[in-house]
Structure 1
Amino acid sequence: MKKNSLLPLLKLLGDFILRHKGMIGGVLALGVFQAALTKAPYLLVKEVVDAFLPPSAAQGPPNHLFDSLMVAKKDLMAFLHLDGLLQRGATGNLGSSAILLALMAILGGATIFFYRYFSNLAASMLVVDLRNRLCSHLLRLSSKYFGLQRTGEMISRVSNDTNTIRHSFTLVFENAVLEPLFLLFNAILAFSVSPWMGWFLVVMIPVLGLPMTRFGRKVRKGSGKSLQAMGQATDAMSQMFLGFRTVKAYRLEDRELEEFEKINETFLRRTMKMVRAKAGSQALLYTTYMLGFAGLLYGLQYLPKMDLANMGIGLAAIGTSYTHIKRTARTFNLLKESQGAFDRLQELMELRSEIVEKEGAKEFRTLEDGIEFHQVSFAYEKDPVLQDLSFRIEKGQKIALVGPSGAGKSTILNLLGRFYNPDGGEILVDGVPLDEIKLSSWLDHISIVDQAPFLFNRSIRDNILLGKENATEEEWREAARMARVDEFAEQFPDGYETVVGEGGDALSGGQKQRVTIARAILRDPELLLLDEATSALDTESEKMVQEALDVLMRGRTSVVIAHRLSTIRASDRILVLEKGRIVEEGSHEELLQNKSGLYHKLTLLQEA
């Protein structure tokens, strides 16, 4: 489907309308009622003019629409027992018309309130639904996608782009229904006065629509580029604030601000290009309309003679049509603007995760035998990280991974957690390929403790319960005790209800890591993956965390990456990796006997 097509956006709108037929039908009915109540008073102008002109000046061809309104007014006065007003001549007619107009005002006010309320509700519901679907889709993508994206750019798409669509759809629900209805009623009024006036209005509407189509393409294109620049600005701000200490320490304020200003200049330039297209559309619309109106005034001298009141009704209908066409044009431009935003969102929605659960995937219940890597290869981009890697993890074993940076240690954990799929070879769990096991059931039986612990901006208790949401108080408190979280949590005034702040910044590094360990203990995993869980801690915190990890690993199948070799001496097997291959393996004592081996070299470097 063409990228510059409105069809995807209209399909989104159509799907929403089908799901909420009742509410949309009510909005449409309210729109018809509001348009009728807004335009009907124009007919009362005839009665006012006729009342103050001599009978000879008020004569002209009959207006059947006006006559129908007068019949309805007569019936209403009879219903209200005010039909005596109609017997007072012109004065009574004006009085009854004032009463009719007051009732229209009350009904019109109520109609406007409910129409605006429900049209805004519909637009907001549509965008909330879009945001939910977008976030749900993004969270189901693999880690490979997130590793290549800028956080600020993604946040901008989910927040700014959907906000652009919300603003546009608010006007769509308000104006795209109401303004065409106003034009329809204006055409009815014009035809009631003179067929020539009616046809003039009918012809002018599509003529005035041409500038909208022409400039709408430029608006859509400019919108996409403007939002792209906004995403870059959001990402730049995110980097500045997240790296605030680095910016300060290296005196990077001027450099970062200069970069930020350049991005904002690009945003301003692209935005103004879009504004020029919108302004050109409105200017051309105004010029075309006024020239057409001038032509109408000139042509009136050749039309059949009509009375002054009917002339006033016709000119009022045609005169106010410009406002409705202008609002329709604005709505169209905003729809094209939101199309630029929707194009960017659609790019995200069309992404597909390579982590796909196969049809007929098996439920994982417990590890019976072990896990085997068979000739596994993997690359993040083009450069290979793992090459024909083969090894086996027996149930209950503690396997340590050692090697220089970039050797592929963390990649092995990522593959075990199914954040990625191998490019070649396979991972077998009790002889079953890992990609033939239900992902949800596999993840339910593993826990991961990273070197950079992440906590949500919630209470300590809530962060622990992420390991098992339906855990009893006794269970999560026991997990907290085993991870030694109780030693610091109970010292806070709010205890376990203490909110840890964004990313857990209210806690120290060691405290954050102990909370993540408590979370892992509560999960009671079959397989435990530890990725340098103590690398960022001071000596005292490392000792406490290591004790908690020892409790966690007891009796579990564990794969450990450790920066300090002293913490993995008790491992059943140590795999030494270099450039994506296993160059040595064995126990700590066995590996030390190979004086020329990489493990012996790494041990000497740490001892030194």
Structure 2
Amino acid sequence: MKEYVFKVKKPLVLQIIFSTLSTAALAILPYLTKVLFDSLTQKDLRLFLFLISAYILCNLANIFFSYIEMIYSWKKSIQFELNLKKDFFKSIVNYSYKRFSSKDIGEYISLQGNEITQLEMDYLSPLVDIFQALITLIVYGVIFFVLIDWRIALVMIIASIITLIGPKLTSKRLSEKRKIYLDKMGEYVSKIKDLLEGFKLIKTSTKNNIIDEHEKTLKETSKFRFNYGKYKCISMLINGAFIYSLNITGFLVVAYLLYKNEITIGTAVATLGYLEAFMGPIDRLVYNINTINSTESIKLKVLEFLKIENKIELEHKESLENSIKFSGVDVKFNNFTLENFSYEFNKGKKYALIGHSGSGKSTIINSLMKYVDLSGGEILIDDKNINEIDTDKMITCINQYEHIFATDLKNNATVFDSYNFKSLNMLLGTLDKQMIKCIEEKQNSQQLSGGEKQVISFMRMLLSNSQVLVMDEIFSATDMNTSKRLQDILMSVTDKTMIMITHKLSEELACFDEILIMNNGKLVESGSYDDISKSQVFKNLKAV
């Protein structure tokens, strides 16, 4: 976290400088009060006017320097949060799919939206405030020691150091309580996301139960927040007791010295003024030390997400020279197993994967895209293990429910100008003009129909210009006319290798060079449509 504090060093240093100037202006005020009380018997008009002018000037200086300090405080805070959120998001998008999918998206959202902001509020700002409080104590201490009374100053400094014991007594437990609460808060965000994503399921018959489910999680989260708050109150009470002991000590010292006639009334009044001045920064020190200690768990959590994976440098491969070969591939997860799958997908050919739901078709694609780990066997691309190759530019995969961003057609199809949109002109001319117009006019493509979203996914795939196109039921929501046109476009492409999962067992399969039939995680039949259509396995599949 020090790295991010260092990045905001310029506004941070300027904030501390102007804070010091503001403090110095305030620190003079009790001394001016002392001089005023001690000179009451002199009836010196010039001195009175000087003291009044100095008092007003110090207050104006304090207001001016405080304003500048606050401006730099905002700049520092915003810059710190901006840097951290930029790096956090950049780190996440560089995760492997396996690492990314190990966490719920709600947790990422909670960290990006809440915890990082909490770090700015409860780590950086308190850290700076600790420096400011220390500077305040030093400035007040020096003025007190030099201009007021060194004995009282010494007692106050020793008492101030003792008050810092308070945070040490409660900080560890407070951090633990806060971590538990924030973990529960992350679970609550995930629950909200889950429930709202199922908005279509909210009906008269389900509404009350869904509300109850939300409230159950909310109450559980609130319980842990209360536990954290309760211990925070105890912590503040203990710290407050130490701080007020400082006030009592100072008062007793002043009372004793006044009784012994060793200080003037002016010194006593100034001392009591400085006592109040000491109380503020000591209170801030204790509070901020506790606050920073309580963020330890958040800091470690955010830094863990920012940690860069030790990635092996992979060879970038953009074109397929010969084939993609599955050799004895096994994939096991939950109760499903893809068993000993071996097949060679040759360059330039079009393949259809068919079979019942849960037969292993999607697992083949997920293996090729490195979304799942192999339990056995290997996948070779041009005789090189896929784990040694970066295939991002060579292979593009789209599925039935491809994500559509909440923006317009161009940003969705080009993934924010990653691809050249102009090459879509030919495709747009072949589709229904009314449908294309509807898609183009919609500023939030998430509001389009399922079929229209699949059209955008199809456009995105073609614009990627990848050598290998992998598809999972990409026409399931489009109408028959649109499906036919899109499939015709797809089949007219001659320089791509295509692997498509489909449930359509019609004569459209004749467009593919080879069809693979999967069942219970095994390849049971493969060949051309003419051969496959005559097999009993295919007939049984059609009959279901």
Q: Structure 1 length normalisation: TM-score?
A: 0.82
Any idea what SS the aligned residue of 2:203 has?
helix
Matches within 5 A, 1:157-556: 157-169=111-123, 171-172=125-126, 174-192=128-146, 193-248=148-203, 251-300=205-254, 302-303=256-257, 305-350=262-307, 352=309, 356=311, 358-359=312-313, 361-380=314-333, 383=335, 385-437=337-389, 439=390, 442-466=391-415, 469=418, 471=420, 473=422, 475-482=423-430, 484=431, 486-490=433-437, 492=438, 496=440, 498-499=442-443, 501=444, 504-551=445-492, 553-556=493-496
What CA distance in whole angstroms lies between the structure 2 residues aligned with 1:293 and 1:583? 85
- The structural deviation recorded for 1:421 is 4.5
Q: Which residue of 1 aligns with 2:68?
A: 114
- The structural deviation recorded for 1:526 is 0.8
Q: 1:505 to 1:295 in 2, by over 3 A?
A: closer
Q: Which residue of 1 aligns with 2:21?
A: 33
- The structural deviation recorded for 1:456 is 1.1
- Counterpart code for 1:524: N
More divergent stretch after superposition (389-398 vs 509-518): 509-518
Q: Deviations over 1:300-347 (max 9, x none)?
A: 455460111122222221233222222222222322333232233244
Q: Deviations over 1:172-204 (max 9, x none)?
A: 255222222222223223323223212221222
- Counterpart code for 2:497: T
What CA distance in whole angstroms lies between the structure 2 residues aligned with 1:467 and 1:196? 69
Q: Is the 8 A contact 1:485 1:514 kept in 2?
A: no
Q: Deviations over 1:19-51 (max 9, x none)?
A: 343333222222221221121122111221123
What CA distance in whole angstroms lies between the structure 1 residues aligned with 2:74 and 2:167? 24
Any idea what SS the aligned residue of 1:577 has?
strand
Q: Is the 8 A contact 2:329 2:342 kept in 1?
A: yes
What CA distance in whole angstroms lies between the structure 1 residues aligned with 2:496 and 2:419? 22
Q: 1:470 to 1:530 in 2, by over 3 A?
A: closer
Q: Which residue of 1 aligns with 2:38?
A: 50
- The structural deviation recorded for 1:414 is 2.2
Q: 1:43 to 1:299 in 2, by over 3 A?
A: closer
- The structural deviation recorded for 1:115 is 1.3
Q: Is the 8 A contact 1:480 1:515 kept in 2?
A: no
Q: Which residue of 2 aligns with 1:67?
A: none
Any idea what SS the aligned residue of 1:536 has?
coil
What CA distance in whole angstroms lies between the structure 2 residues aligned with 1:408 and 1:270? 43
Give unmatched runs, 5+ long, in structure 1: 1-11, 56-88
Any idea what SS the aligned residue of 1:368 has?
coil
What CA distance in whole angstroms lies between the structure 1 residues aligned with 2:64 and 2:14? 14
Any idea what SS the aligned residue of 1:469 has?
coil
Any idea what SS the aligned residue of 1:582 has?
strand
- Counterpart code for 1:372: K
What CA distance in whole angstroms lies between the structure 2 residues aligned with 1:525 and 1:20? 42
What CA distance in whole angstroms lies between the structure 1 residues aligned with 2:66 and 2:434? 61
- The structural deviation recorded for 1:376 is 2.0
Q: 1:576 to 1:468 in 2, by over 3 A?
A: farther
What CA distance in whole angstroms lies between the structure 2 residues aligned with 1:183 and 1:549? 74
Q: CA RMSD in A?
A: 2.6
- The structural deviation recorded for 1:351 is 7.9
Q: Is the 8 A contact 1:387 1:580 kept in 2?
A: yes
Q: Deviations over 1:288-308 (max 9, x none)?
A: 333443344334455460111
What CA distance in whole angstroms lies between the structure 1 residues aligned with 2:297 and 2:421? 49
Q: Is the 8 A contact 2:410 2:416 kept in 1?
A: no
- The structural deviation recorded for 1:104 is 2.7
- Counterpart code for 1:560: M
Q: 1:218 to 1:41 in 2, by over 3 A?
A: same
Q: 1:402 to 1:470 in 2, by over 3 A?
A: closer
- The structural deviation recorded for 1:529 is 0.6
What CA distance in whole angstroms lies between the structure 2 residues aligned with 1:365 and 1:233? 42
What CA distance in whole angstroms lies between the structure 2 residues aligned with 1:288 and 1:465? 62
- The structural deviation recorded for 1:226 is 1.4
Q: Deviations over 1:204-232 (max 9, x none)?
A: 22322222122222321121121122222
- The structural deviation recorded for 1:398 is 0.8
- Counterpart code for 2:517: V
Q: Is the 8 A contact 1:119 1:170 kept in 2?
A: no
Any idea what SS the aligned residue of 1:400 has?
strand
- Counterpart code for 2:406: N
- The structural deviation recorded for 1:545 is 4.1
Any idea what SS the aligned residue of 1:315 has?
helix
What CA distance in whole angstroms lies between the structure 2 residues aligned with 1:301 and 1:466? 74
- Count of residues in correspondence between the two structures: 539
Q: 1:232 to 1:301 in 2, by over 3 A?
A: closer
- Counterpart code for 2:226: M
What CA distance in whole angstroms lies between the structure 1 residues aligned with 2:504 and 2:478? 12
- Counterpart code for 2:189: T
- The structural deviation recorded for 1:412 is 1.8
Q: 1:90 to 1:169 in 2, by over 3 A?
A: farther
- The structural deviation recorded for 1:530 is 1.0
- The structural deviation recorded for 1:558 is 0.3
Give unmatched runs, 5+ long, in structure 2: none
Q: Is the 8 A contact 2:191 2:214 kept in 1?
A: yes
Is 1:559 equivalent to 2:511 in the alignment? no
What CA distance in whole angstroms lies between the structure 1 residues aligned with 2:388 and 2:447? 41
What CA distance in whole angstroms lies between the structure 2 residues aligned with 1:46 and 1:364? 80
Q: 1:362 to 1:290 in 2, by over 3 A?
A: closer
Q: 1:50 to 1:92 in 2, by over 3 A?
A: same
- The structural deviation recorded for 1:486 is 4.6
Q: Is the 8 A contact 1:372 1:390 kept in 2?
A: yes
Q: Structure 2 length normalisation: TM-score?
A: 0.91
- Counterpart code for 1:603: K
Q: Is the 8 A contact 1:375 1:389 kept in 2?
A: yes
What CA distance in whole angstroms lies between the structure 1 residues aligned with 2:413 and 2:469? 16
- The structural deviation recorded for 1:110 is 2.4
What CA distance in whole angstroms lies between the structure 1 residues aligned with 2:466 and 2:112? 34
What CA distance in whole angstroms lies between the structure 2 residues aligned with 1:541 and 1:282? 67
Q: Is the 8 A contact 2:396 2:469 kept in 1?
A: yes
What CA distance in whole angstroms lies between the structure 1 residues aligned with 2:142 and 2:87? 43
What CA distance in whole angstroms lies between the structure 1 residues aligned with 2:436 and 2:151? 83
What CA distance in whole angstroms lies between the structure 2 residues aligned with 1:302 and 1:370? 94
Any idea what SS the aligned residue of 2:132 has?
helix
- The structural deviation recorded for 1:589 is 2.5
What CA distance in whole angstroms lies between the structure 2 residues aligned with 1:140 and 1:421? 18
Q: Deviations over 1:488-531 (max 9, x none)?
A: 233x4xx73531x2xx3322222211122122222222111110
